[in-house]
Amino acid sequence: MKETLHIYTRVSTTIQEEDGTSLDTQRDLGEQRSQKLGMKCQVWNEGSQSSSKDDLSNRPVLTQLLQEVQDGNVKHVYVWNTDRLSRNIQTWGLIRLILIKNEVHLHTPTGELILSDPQTNLMLGIMSEFSQYDNLLRTERFRLGKLQRIRDGGWKGGPPPFGYRLDEGELVVEPKESVWVVKIHEWYRDGLTPDEIKTHLMENGVMTRRGNPVWSLGSITSLLSNTHYDGYWMFEDGKSGEVIRVSCPRICPPELILGVKNSKEKRTYKKGNKREKTSVSKHPYLVSKLMKCGNCGLFYYGNIKKTQTSYYHCGSKTNKYRDKGTDKYTECGTNRNLRLDTTEKVVWEEVKSVIGSSHLFKETIKREVLGEERVFTETKKDTDLTKKQIERLEREVEKITTSIVNLTTENILSESRDLKGVVKKLEDKRLETEVRIKELTSKLSEKEDENRWIDWLKEYKDRLDKLDDLTPKERQDFVRGVVSEIVVHELDNQRHKLEINFLFPYVGDRLEYKDETNKSLGYEIKGGRNRKNKTLNLLKKFTS
Ligand SMILES: [Zn+2]
């Protein structure tokens, strides 16, 4: 009985068909081989299979052939190249084991491979390693190719975000959707909740990408945090961790993105405030990080008690137990804690009195505020004007947008009417207006930066007369603005000396005119000191 040569053919989809490896060629060569061997032949054609998942589950024909081998019906197998059987080491090992066990002769165009021969085994092993390596290389090349395409502005794959469509692998603006992208941002900026935005979208018949007229709150929230509308997106390569910033057409103007950002911050801030109210209110300690122990040099810490008297205590006491036996351990001889209310009151009164009567301080304020008054009022007038202008332009954009939306809707309803030209003109006008708004807004923010400190100083001067109206936090800022440090000396069991060191010689300065008889010749400020001492009992309740 004539033996049969079982010809197994397969091509891989990911490899371009190399010369001489097409299914037909593989079969023809196999048939030639069978004639040479004087055998009948039977073709087992796997066809075209992906090599990415290279195991038997993906090779139904090969599995069938191996079954025949195990059943003892196949003694001669022909493959064009051993990698037709498998490029995967484990799979190839399994196949080889089955072939060897069943004493199958494996034929290739170059002759028979004796599978059990150690040298052939080694060679086959190496060849298989090479195909494995080849596969890895191909995967890597594919990954690098994709990264390069992304770097060149290509889309990463998958559906494009709402507001865009794909054109030759790149994101381009989808006008019908982008109108709504802008709208959603504007609504959010103007204080609408995602739920209200959802209602608006529904009322306007805006469909999601999947054709759903009901938007989920999650999709609205995630749309609002999409960076694409700001003209870029980030891609992180899972393997290398490399992050690529890719530019794409901007849908929302920068000032709108900024508006949304501010609105978001405001909302989280509000939430944060609520949270803070329920927790223990944070007391701004008037002299924390300012008041030091004259004995050991550590800062004093405040400790607010709800039911007991609150104290400031030397830092050595806080860390006493934690640091004991370490280098950080500080031995301090102070015995008494300072009453918090008394200490803060005394410091505040002293600072107020020194600053309130300091010519130097007044002079500083005068130079900084009054000297700039002209500039200030001018820029103020200017910014007010710009703000009005922006508001007017924004209303215009709003109107244009509404018209566009209405016209677009009409257009959908009556396809016969060609309103495209009108809409196009309106879009141009809107863009033009938005660019103008953008210019004005950036001009305005520059101006506002410029004005901020002038504003602050002006307000500050007004408040100098009403210092006691300041909130605890403002008092803390004020003290920090003029005092460099406060040193506490424990004199005895009763009395402490507070040494208040000011940043500038505000203490006891005086104003001397160059000529008392002719004040217009100017004056000088003289004789100030930086330090003010105050000795008192800080253990008692303060009475002035
Ligand atoms: Zn101390």
By the 10 Å C-beta count (0-12 exposed, 13-18 middle, 19+ buried), 540 is classed as exposed
Q: Is the dihedral of CA 462, 468, 472, 477 positive or negative?
A: positive
Give me 298's structure tokens: 């550590």
Neighbours of ion ligand 1 (CB under 5 A): 293, 295-296, 314, 316, 332, 334
Q: What is the CA radius of gyration of the chain?
A: 41
Asked if residue 277 has pLDDT above 60, the reply is no
Contact 163, 181 (CB under 8 A): yes
Higher pLDDT, 238 or 235: 235
Q: How far is the centre of ligand 1, averaged over its atoms, from the C-alpha of 317 (Å)? A: 8
181 vs 224: CA distance, rounded Å = 9
Say which residue the tokens 């150690």 belong to. 118
Q: How far is the centre of ligand 1, averaged over its atoms, from the C-alpha of 329 (Å)? A: 11
DSSP characters over 55-113:
SGGG-HHHHHHHHHHHTT---EEEESSGGGT-SSHHHHHHHHHHHHHTTPEEEETTEEE
Asked if residue 308 has pLDDT above 90, the reply is no
Q: What average pLDDT does the structure give for the chain? A: 79
Specify the DSSP element, H or E, that contains 257: helix 254-278
pTM reported for the whole predicted model: 0.37
Say which residue the tokens 């508001």 belong to. 391
- Winning range, highest mean pLDDT, from 154-158, 241-245, 441-445, 450-454: 154-158
Q: How far is the centre of ligand 1, averaged over its atoms, from the C-alpha of 529 (Å)? A: 26
| Per-residue pLDDT tens over the stretch 240-270 | 777 778 888 999 988 888 888 888 888 775 5
Contact 44, 115 (CB under 8 A): no
Give me 231's structure tokens: 């003209």
pLDDT value of position 458? 60
397 vs 81: CA distance, rounded Å = 69
**Closest to 41 (Cα-Cα) out of 86, 98, 84, 2:** 2
Q: How far is the centre of ligand 1, averaged over its atoms, from the C-alpha of 316 (Å)? A: 6
8 vs 33: CA distance, rounded Å = 13
Between helix 60-70 and helix 89-101 the angle, nearest 10°, is 30
